[in-house]
Structure 1
Amino acid sequence: MDSKQLLAFALDKIDDMKARDIVHIDVSKSSDITDFMIVCSGTSKRHVLSIADHLAKEARHADAEPLGYEGQSDGEWALVDLGDVVVHVMQDQARSYYDLEKLWG
């Protein structure tokens, strides 16, 4: 998958799990690490983990093995690194505190 296909794939999979307030940011001009960043919210620790788990499992099934997966034990903020797309799934409090959209937007 190219980076735009991977972005569409990730957006679809987090939408499957009813992620809220989904924002994607093209960071290709400001980052050598990834092309796109997705930030979305979950309603609870369990919801955050479910969204991230679903994305990681579906990526594996599509032969897009995640390069990293962080935050499984906490549930406040989970990160799934798909290479060209990095997905941040956060609870509202963590999302407003770190304000990644402002930092990268």
Structure 2
Amino acid sequence: MVGLRPLSAHTRFADRAGRWPRSLRAPWLSVDAYVGEVMSAALPPNTSPNRAVASLDIAGDAATAKVEDEFGTTRFTDYLSLLKIAGELKILSKLYHLH
């Protein structure tokens, strides 16, 4: 099962046993539930995200990208790890900062 974790305002690491601090424990959302949350956000009609690739670094089949996003009144900076698979770059991981 693929799951996505809601945004946390804290940055900490798990302890040696792999347990996250209680303040970071949040329920995992299924992909369908996450998409439902995003799609139900109260945005003005005809609102679409604005995105700009701030930087792209490619080395062979690996790449990293910094993407600046604005959706409604929300602004993010995304950091993506990508890998070329079957000739196409695929996102392997995403870190983000909510401004």
TM-score of the aligned structures, taking structure 1 as reference length: 0.23
Higher strand share: 2
Higher relative contact order (CA 8 A, sep 6+): 1
Question: Who wins on radius of gyration, i.e. which is larger?
Answer: 2
TM-score of the aligned structures, taking structure 2 as reference length: 0.24
